[in-house]
Amino acid sequence: MMTLEMLNLSIAMPEMFLLALACTVLVVDVYLKDSQRNVTYMLSQLGLIITLILISQQTPQNNEWTRELAFNGLFVNDLLATVLKYAVVLLVAIVFVYSRRYLQDRNIFKGEFYVLGLFGLLGMMVMISANHFLSMYLGLELLSLSLYAMVAFDRENPNAAEAAMKYFVLGAIASGMLLYGMSMVYGMTGSLNIVEVAVALDQMEGDNIVLIFGLVFMVIGISFKLGAVPFHMWIPDVYHGSPTTVTSYIATAPKVAGFAMVIRLLAESMGSFQADWQGMMIILAVLSMAVGNVIAIAQTNLKRLLAYSTISHVGFIMLGLLAGNQEGYSAAMFYTLTYTLMSLGGFGIIILLTRKGFEADNINDLKGLNQRSPWFAFIMLIVVFSMAGVPPTVGFWAKLAVLKAVVNIDMLWLALVAVFFSIIGIFYYLRIIKLMYFDDAEDKSEINCTRDMQIALSANGLSVLMLGLYPAALMSICIAAFS
Amino acid sequence: MTFFEVVFYAFSTLMVVAALGVVSARNPVHSVLFLVLTFFAGSAIWLLLEAEFLAITLVLVYVGAVMVLFLFVVMMLDINITRMREGLMRYAPFGIAIAILLIVQMIMVVGPENFGLQAFAAPELHGADYSNTKELGRVLYTDYVYAFELASVILLVAIVAAITLTMRRRPNTRHQIPGEQMKVMKQDRLRIVNMKSETIDSEDK
């Protein structure tokens, strides 16, 4: 017989609260008039703050982190999960701050954006805490389904519909690949539980072609979701086509969840096949860095440019992951967390420059930003420098940590390739800075922006700088998460 | 060949043929009907695996409800088949090559060498008192309650997404408001204008 205590519900408190919150927002929103949508917004933000508090309550006894299981081993909580959950909730809350005026200007300030955003967040938290292939897949589908709907959310926009369609079809194929891979692993090990799979794989001897076959499919599915070359086709179209607030959502928090997916599926369960997936990841990483950085040079659309920049950053994250040791994983985690922060700042600036009937998504819209608003030009400068990896911003430390991990596993050539492509990448980052500081503004209109967004965006940009000056605290958390 | 094997091979052949029919049929309605056949053959194979509950659910839910709805949707949509097939011949060789490659790989991996009776012993057959439904129910709400609840959340999101994307308030649509119509008084609609009567002479001038 099993009892309710055996489910160990208390450690899944943040998830349960978030689910209740999303359902409450869904119901409350129905009774609101269009002029009262701010209530939906405020309720979502309040709920996210409470979720953050609940996550921070999840500290273990005696400050000793252990893997705590719940729901019969389908759910796990450890330091890694707590830190990543904290990050995704924070990122989504900031995206919501950025989104309000943009949505109002376009007459799409509707409750569904927040409801779907919260459900997507729940999906990410489920993925981060997954200790079972089943919960990982369900979390992924919950996230993806919310994202597909959010991309198509602006129904008047044909670009958004096209992007949503592409995203949906490719995402469904990727999910199918992932499931097929999981089914192969299940067939060989007889378990879907990540820890049990790892134990079963450790006991196996010799090469097992079925497991490698399953592993290939799993890696393909994961790369699709992360957007590594050659499975990156959807990224530029989706980033370009969706409303910019939705782009800022897709480009940030789901990357953290994707990182958790790689750790749980490849590092924790398929750890004994590390040599096999390392080879695949080297190819993915090199191609991502090459294609991302080279094609970004040709882009004139800012959202597409950031999309290709994302692809190249995914390549860097993979560099850390393929190292396959504690150093590599913590470097990749540091890179993921800081990259999402920079990416959020970049899209924040684009949202800042938009106004009613005008999308500031052309690279020329940044011209002379320094004359229009020196402060936000400075914030963008920090963000762009950080993406390029220029000290003293945090992007430099992230790149350094990842490269160090690669060099320490005796793959100097890979580190050199990475440096080579990031130097190519600096070209288009510098072009953005040139446009902001050395060109005259064509469009001299006032930047109108609400106070909360100004504060959030400034904090966002300054945190990139502060983390660059004092990276040790975050770095030590990342190292502790994998010890 | 035992009776068991005859049934298995008959239904698996049917399933593969029907699945090929789904993707190759010219008429989308035929595709949907082929899909029904695929599901039916699949449920027969599940019956052989003693998964009676799943087999019956597949027929009841998928064949009975989902596919009928699907059929309605396909019949309602105005699909231009010739336009859809425009790029087909151009991409066909590439697609077929990849498909053959995948099939060859799968046959090499998912064959009797790795999944045969030497690798895995045949599962025991259960007696007549075994209830598949009971076994499923026992784990569904206990061991897998988390996955079960998550699946329900996914369905909720699907509903929200579908309504968000399709329900629209068109400001220009013309529709009747019966209450307002009933309240109309004669003086609201009828305007009696007092005007001089005109004569034919005045028109001639």
**A20 lies in a domain?**
yes
As a whole-number percent, the residues of chain B with pLDDT over 90 amount to 31
In-domain check, residue A330: yes
Of A70, A153, A209, the CB nearest to B109: A209
Q: What value does the mean pLDDT take over residues A30-52?
A: 93
**Cβ pair A131, B155 in contact under 8 A:** no
What ipTM was estimated for this complex? Answer: 0.92
pLDDT of residue A85: 96
Residue A320 in any domain: the answer is yes
Cβ within 8 Å, pair B110-A210: yes
pLDDT band at A443 (very low <50, low <70, confident <90, very high): confident
Q: Name every chain A residue with its beta carbon within 8 A of the beta carbon of B158.
A: 145
Higher-confidence residue: A332 or B195?
Answer: A332
Instruction: State the Cα–Cα distance between residues A168 and B158, nearest whole angstrom.
Output: 13
Nearest to B160 among A26, A72, A152 (CB): A26
**A1 located within any domain:** no
Q: What is the mean pLDDT of chain A?
A: 92
Given pLDDT bands bounded at 50, 70 and 90, which one contains residue A143?
Answer: very high
Q: Return the pLDDT at A434.
A: 93
pLDDT at B142: 87
Is it the case that residue A322 has pLDDT exceeding 90? yes
Question: Locate tokens 């099993």: which residue?
Answer: A2
B84 has a chain A CB within 8 A of its CB: no
Tell me the average pLDDT across A447-458: 88
Residue A403 lies in a domain: yes
pLDDT of residue A376: 92
Determine the pLDDT at residue A296: 93
Q: Which residues 90-149 of B have a C-beta within 8 angstroms of A?
A: 105, 108-110, 114-115, 142-147
Nearest CA in chain B to A210: B109
Compare CB distances from A149 to B142, B147, B161 and report the shortest one's residue: B161
pLDDT at A1 over 70: no
Structure tokens that stand for A145 in this block: 């389904």
The pair of three-digit structure tokens given for residue A343, joined into one six-digit string: 């990416």
Lowest mean pLDDT among A111-115, A149-153, A361-365: A361-365
Are A7 and B145 in contact (CB < 8 Å)? yes
The tally of domains found in chain A comes to 1
Nearest-Cα distance to chain A for B183, in Å, is: 27
pLDDT at A2 over 70: no
Task: Give yes or no for residue B203 having a pLDDT over 60.
Answer: no
**What integer pLDDT is reported at residue B195 of this predicted model?**
85
Return the residue in B164, B166, B168, B172 with the most chain A beta carbons within 10 A, the one to mutate for interface testing. Answer: B164
Partners of B108 on chain A (C-beta within 8 Å) are 209
The answer to whether position A4 is within a domain reads: no
Q: How far is B33 from chain A (nearest CA, A)?
A: 22
Nearest CA in chain B to A190: B120
* pLDDT recorded at residue B2: 87
CA of residue A218 relative to chain centroid, distance: 19
The Cα–Cα gap between A277 and A228 comes to: 14
Buried b (16+ CB within 10 A) or exposed e, A71-104: bbbbbbbbbbbbbbbbbbbbbbbbbbbbbbbbbe
Confidence of residue A204 (pLDDT cuts 50, 70, 90): confident
Residue carrying structure tokens 């204008």: B193
pLDDT of residue A66: 82
End-to-end CA separation in angstroms for chain A: 36
- Cβ of residue B168 closer than 8 Å to a chain A Cβ: yes
Q: What number is the average pLDDT over the span A14-21?
A: 96
Contact call for A149 and B157, based on CB within 8 A: yes
pLDDT number for residue B202: 55
Cross-chain residue pair B110–A155, CB shorter than 8 Å = no
Query: Taking CB atoms and an 8 Å cutoff, what residues of chain B touch A210?
Result: 109-110, 114-115
The reply to whether residue B145 touches residue A213, judged by beta carbons under 8 angstroms, is no
A269 within a domain of the structure (yes/no): yes
Q: Least CA distance to A189: which residue of chain B? A: B120
Residue of B nearest to A149 (CA): B161
Q: In angstroms, what separates the C-alpha of A179 from chain B's closest C-alpha?
A: 15
Residue A67 in this model has a pLDDT that exceeds 90: no
Contacts of A63-66 with CB under 8 Å at 24 or more apart are A65/A480
What is the band of A140 on the pLDDT scale with cuts at 50, 70, 90? very high
Is pLDDT above 90 for B90? no
Average of per-residue pLDDT across A386-409: 93
A213: in domain? yes
Q: What is the pLDDT of residue A284?
A: 95
Nearest CA in chain B to A20: B153
Chain A contact present for B154, CB below 8 A: yes
Residue A115: domain span: 11-59+66-481
- Residue B156, chain A, CB below 8 Å: the answer is yes
User: Which of these, A153, A338, A124, lies nearest to A245 by C-alpha position?
Assistant: A153
pLDDT of residue B204: 54
Compute the distance between CA of residue A256 and CA of residue A343 in angstroms, rounded to an integer: 12
A128 lies within 8 A of chain B by CB: no
pLDDT value, residue A467:
93
Q: Residue A225 burial by CB count (10 A; 0-12/13-18/19+): exposed, middle or buried?
A: buried
Contact call for B158 and A145, based on CB within 8 A: yes
CA distance A327 to chain B (A): 33
Of A114-123, A152-161, B3-12, B24-33, where does the model show the most confidence?
A114-123
| Chain segment A225-255, per-residue pLDDT in tens | 999 989 999 999 999 999 999 999 999 999 9
| Res B189: pLDDT | 83
Report chain B's terminal Cα–Cα distance, integer Å.
Answer: 107
- Choosing among A1, A18, A74, A211, which should be mutated to test the B contact, i.e. which has the most B CBs within 10 A? A74
The residue-averaged pLDDT of A156-167 equals 90
- Does A146 contact B161 at a Cβ distance shorter than 8 Å? yes
Say what percent of chain A tops pLDDT 90. 75
Confidence of residue A82 (pLDDT cuts 50, 70, 90): very high
pTM: 0.91
pLDDT at B173: 75
Average confidence (pLDDT) over B105-130: 81
From chain B, the residues in CB contact with A132 under 8 A are 147
Of A71, A141, A155, the CB nearest to B154: A141
* Closest residue by Cα to residue A130 from A173, A49, A67: A67
Looking at the DSSP assignment, which residues form a beta bridge with residue A70?
Answer: A75
A277 reaches B (C-beta below 8 A) = no
pLDDT tens-digit series, residues B136-191: 888 888 889 999 999 999 999 999 999 988 877 677 777 788 888 888 888 888 88
Average pLDDT, chain B: 86
B29 touches A at CB < 8 Å: no
Is pLDDT above 90 for A25? Answer: yes
Chain A residues whose CB is inside 8 A of the B84 CB are none
